Amino acid sequence: MPQVAQLVAAPAWRTVDFISDLHLQPSEPQTVQAWRDYLTRTTADATFILGDLFEVWVGDDALDEPGSFEAECTAVLHAAAQKRPLFFMVGNRDFLAGKEFLRRSGMTGLADPTALQWAGPRILLSHGDALCLDDVEYQQFRSLSRSAAWRQQVLAQPLAARRALGKSARSESEMRKQSGAPYADADAAMTATWMLAAAAPWLIHGHTHQPADHALGQDRWRIVLSDWHIDADTQRAEVLRVTPEGWQRLPPELA
């Protein structure tokens, strides 16, 4: 069980949005535009992005590349952060996002997991990948890639080399999807352990691309966020909107 960070919501918040797994990339312009439009017009008091905002993040120095996709998206985030608080938790695709990205985007970084204390039930927030224990190969990579030594070794490579690695990783991921390999789901026992340790009756996470509301009994819920792939065959995108009265799933254009 990792240490649970704490975040106390501002007293004035009445509407909070949660999104994840947008996998932003230049090859999916409709998804990128829907995300831009959502950030521009949302009426939420705060927005939480729980990982995999980008299909791949190869290092904060990509922001210094003239006209880069990363720099353009970061400018969108910075403009949105002037209107309302934005919070960001890294996922398994953008875990190399660092302090410079947060500074330029105007977002507040979140540890995984973080417990949000708000007007309603206490909410445990996570990207969700650490809970998918059946994906043994990924868990081994996750343990390695979160080490300071590994990060230092990768980020020491030239930006072009890291972009090539990112492209290779995307290709492997696409081949896995085409093969029909299922996404591992959150382990039930580990989920219960996390929620109990955090004293949180709600858990909100992404990663699995299996949006659903799981009733766990005794007014406990595991709420799984939707991925965004408007350019893909699924054409799926949702915003999870939470108020003191409960939650609802909205299309981005209505959030």
CATH number for 241: 3.60.21.10
Residue range(s) defining the domain that contains residue 138 = 5-254
Three-state DSSP class for residue 34: helix
Distance between CA atoms of 204 and 49, rounded to whole angstroms? 11
Among 93, 96, 77, smallest CA distance to 85 is for: 77
pLDDT tens sequence for the chain (255 residues): 789 999 999 999 999 999 999 999 999 999 999 999 999 999 999 999 999 999 999 999 999 999 999 999 999 999 999 999 999 999 999 999 999 999 999 999 999 999 999 887 899 999 999 999 999 999 999 999 989 999 999 999 999 999 998 887 776 666 666 656 667 899 999 999 999 999 999 999 999 999 999 999 999 999 999 999 998 777 899 999 999 889 999 999 998
In degrees and rounded to multiples of 5, residue 66 shows phi and psi of: -55, 130
Give residue 65's pLDDT. Answer: 92
The tally of domains found in the chain comes to 1
Give residue 84's pLDDT. Answer: 97
| Global pTM value | 0.94
18-32: b (≥16 Cβ within 10 Å) or e: bbbbbbbbeebeebb
Give residue 161's pLDDT. Answer: 94
Give residue 174's pLDDT. Answer: 67
Cα 173 to the center of its chain, rounded Å: 17
Give residue 175's pLDDT. Answer: 66
Give residue 235's pLDDT. Answer: 85
- Alpha helix (H) ranges present in the chain? 29-41, 69-81, 99-105, 136-145, 148-155, 159-178, 188-198
Give residue 184's pLDDT. Answer: 86
Type and span of the H or E element at 133: none
Q: What is the CA radius of gyration of the chain?
A: 17
Give residue 1's pLDDT. Answer: 78
